[in-house]
Chain A
Amino acid sequence: MVPNIRVAKPGKNLKDNNIEEESINTSHFMPKIVVQKQIATDQNTPATTTHGLSYSPVCIRYVRDYTPEGAYKIMPFGAIGMGNEIDNTYIYGYYKKVYNPNTELYEQPIYYSVIFSDSINNNKDETPNGQNQPELFVKSGQTTNPIYKLIVPYCDYLKASTSGILTLNIPSSNLNDSDSQEYSSSYLHNKGYIPIVAPFDTHFDSFLLNSYYEGGSNIPSTIILNNIGSQLVEQTIPAYSASDVYEYITYYFNGIGLYLEYTRLNLSGETQNCPARTIKLYYTIFENQLDESLNLL
């Protein structure tokens, strides 16, 4: 029998045998963070950097702009799929240039990578041995293979701090020609550092709803941003699409909070009745600090 360590979440009971209510359960592996890299480049050079493992590792990537507080976001896939590549040597960072008020130039943004020990396509795991710290193996007879090290105290794990729903309710209204309206919502975590934030698969920054929903004719009344990257691909990444009212959504986070912003602009030449919208983002803020460099290899 394989030994197992389980700890229930606060207020929950292990006897319920519900994995959703357990904060740790060693029958489910937890990806180990072994490297975190911050990459700043010049205005022209894409951020390609080594990750230090001999195989292609599972990873999560973010970008930030140059505003004083920073606007951090999960790496968007960009217009032609760029920015999401990793191989057995490099992490490739490509993204549109962003304005840097310090240099007054448009430059490559700063890239952040969270790299796990798990290989994408094979059974390798270069979690380092030893380091004179305790380890916990959970499979007998497999103790020489790091992939079976379930708890490696000198690696880091994704530890949720808070989770919730950031909601932005936009009322219906009549909008005069050439007028715009802005709405915003935020959750302040006040950690004082930049945390790792989920969802990991949004893959967008600012986007124009109208382009993705056939000129705005079928924009849903409730938009869940968590899966928006896949939704946008399913809609087929479009060319610019003319519309009467243009609706933009922006989502980002920094060391103070998470922010959701919505703008609509009437360029139709006449007053438009704009429908109500609800925009939701289910978020998890981790204790893990994104803006620090780690090399635990």
Chain B
Amino acid sequence: MRPVIKVARRGYDIRTAPPKNLTIDTSKNQFKVYVSRLEVFDLNIGNSYTYEKVITHPFSYTPTVIAFVSNITENGGVFTASDNKFNSLPSYDGPGGFGYNPLTGVIIPGAGEITIRIKEPYVAPVYGGGDYFEVEDVVLRYLVFVDKNFE
């Protein structure tokens, strides 16, 4: 007989609770984090306004990823990375200066690795943008799960 750990929600009997009312049930796969990290970086001309984080993993598939990047605000032509407001990835945005997060962020699968790329989209002034900009202390937070996203 295979051992199992089950915990029922408060108010439910472990012997009769339906699966959705079990907080833990090892007869099911629980999503587990393989690696979780926080990266802080600047975007400037030296890195072509692009930051790439390559995360290697041992899996034969592309694992599930949840990631967030700082929201950017603009005031008088100065761009600032928020220390408490974030956008989930993938993110896309149009021109800066409208109060939107002007960073794009994507998750790119590869053999034995995934790459998270954060960059500034160049938006021509005619479309409301205005060239690239420097910004400091941008936060990237990612959780890479053991569990498969796709192959």
Q: Contact residues of A with B, CB < 8 Å?
A: 5, 7-10, 19-20, 22-25, 28-31, 55-56, 58-61, 75, 77, 79-82, 84-88, 118, 120-121, 131, 133, 151, 153-161, 163, 191, 193, 195, 198-201, 203, 224, 226-227, 229-230, 232-234, 236-237, 280, 282, 284, 287-289
**Residue of A with least CB distance to B83:** A121
**Residue of A with least CB distance to B85:** A87
Besides the known contacts A24-B24, A58-B141, 15 further A-B residue pairs in the complex with CB atoms under 8 A apart: A10-B27, A23-B27, A23-B30, A31-B31, A56-B84, A80-B100, A85-B85, A120-B86, A151-B24, A153-B24, A159-B19, A199-B149, A201-B66, A224-B150, A287-B22
A residues near B121, Cβ cutoff 8 Å? 236
B residues near A25, Cβ cutoff 8 Å? 32
A residues near B23, Cβ cutoff 8 Å? 153-157
Given A10-B2, A31-B33, A153-B23 in contact, is the A80-B94 Cβ separation under 8 Å?
Answer: yes
Q: Is B43 an interface residue (CB 8 A)?
A: no
Contact residue among A82, A118, A155, A193 (Cβ-Cβ distance under 8 Å from B20): A193
Q: How far is the CA of A87 from the CA of B87 in the complex (A)?
A: 9
Given A80-B94, A224-B150 in contact, is the A85-B101 Cβ separation under 8 Å?
Answer: yes
Residue contact B24 to A85, C-beta cutoff 8 Å: no
Q: Is B91 an interface residue (CB 8 A)?
A: yes
Residue contact B93 to A80, C-beta cutoff 8 Å: yes
Contact residue among A24, A28, A58, A151 (Cβ-Cβ distance under 8 Å from B34): A28
Residue contact B29 to A199, C-beta cutoff 8 Å: no
Residue contact B86 to A282, C-beta cutoff 8 Å: no
Q: How large is the interface on B (under 10, 10 to 19, 20 to 34, 35 or more residues)?
A: 35 or more
Most buried by A among B82, B88, B105, B107: B88
Contact residue among A87, A163, A193, A198 (Cβ-Cβ distance under 8 Å from B82): A87
Q: Is B26 an interface residue (CB 8 A)?
A: yes
Q: How far is the CA of A23 from the CA of B30 in the complex (A)?
A: 5
The 3 closest A-B pairs by CB, nearest first: A81-B93, A230-B106, A158-B31
Q: For the complex formed, measure the closest distance between the CB of B60 and the CB atoms of chain A, giving whole angstroms.
A: 8
Residue contact A60 to B100, C-beta cutoff 8 Å: no
Q: How far is the CA of A234 from the CA of B87 in the complex (A)?
A: 17
Can you show 24 pairs from A to B with CB atoms below 8 A apart? A7-B5, A19-B34, A20-B146, A23-B26, A28-B33, A28-B34, A77-B92, A84-B88, A87-B84, A121-B84, A153-B7, A157-B24, A159-B29, A163-B148, A199-B150, A200-B64, A229-B106, A230-B106, A230-B107, A233-B90, A234-B106, A234-B108, A287-B22, A287-B25
Residue contact B4 to A227, C-beta cutoff 8 Å: no
Contact residue among B28, B66, B101, B108 (Cβ-Cβ distance under 8 Å from A23): B28
A residues near B87, Cβ cutoff 8 Å? 81, 84-85
- Chain B 60-72 against A: per-residue CB contact (8 Å), 1 yes, 0 no? 0010111010010
CB-contacts of B120-151 with A (<8 A) = 121, 139, 141, 143, 146-151
Q: For the complex formed, measure the closest distance between the CB of B56 and the CB atoms of chain A, giving whole angstroms.
A: 15
Residue contact A81 to B24, C-beta cutoff 8 Å: no
Given A10-B27, A87-B85 in contact, is the A201-B5 Cβ separation under 8 Å?
Answer: no
Residue contact A201 to B86, C-beta cutoff 8 Å: no
A residues near B62, Cβ cutoff 8 Å? 226-227
A residues near B36, Cβ cutoff 8 Å? 29, 118
Contact residue among B31, B92, B150 (Cβ-Cβ distance under 8 Å from A227): B150
Q: Is B38 an interface residue (CB 8 A)?
A: yes
CB-contacts of B41-80 with A (<8 A) = 59, 62, 64-66, 68, 71
Q: How far is the CA of A198 from the CA of B148 in the complex (A)?
A: 10
**Residue of B with least CB distance to A122:** B38
